[in-house]
Amino acid sequence: MYKKKEEAVDHLISACSKIAHTDYLDRHNRVASMICWNLCKSTFLAAKKWWEHKAEKVFQKDDVNVLWDFKIQTDKHLAHSKPDITEVAKKQVWLVDVTIPRDI
């Protein structure tokens, strides 16, 4: 494709820098959207099918908040303070960070 690396299957599915911010991000967001839909379907009015779910920045109902791709404010500087999904319910906070590893 770009003649910089060997175009093996494992390179194309997980290591190609040219499609990292497009195809890989889309794949990641689809998985995160399915997880978000599962969190939202019991509390919020969610789509019948996970692939029809539209992730909003904030889902809020009563004492439950589900935050999508929301930066968390901390006392100390953290390089990675933006989990994919944060659920805040009463006195519990769930942080969900999705990764799509390449397994051989």
DSSP state letter for 51: G
Chain-centre distance of CA 38, in angstroms? 13
How confident is the model over 17-60, as pLDDT tens digits? 777 677 778 888 888 888 888 877 766 666 777 777 777 788 88
Decide if pLDDT at 11 tops 60: no
Q: Of 12 and 78, which is predicted with more confidence?
A: 78
Decide if pLDDT at 93 tops 80: yes
Token pair for 80: 């990675």
Quote the pTM value: 0.69
User: Mean pLDDT of all residues in the chain?
Assistant: 78
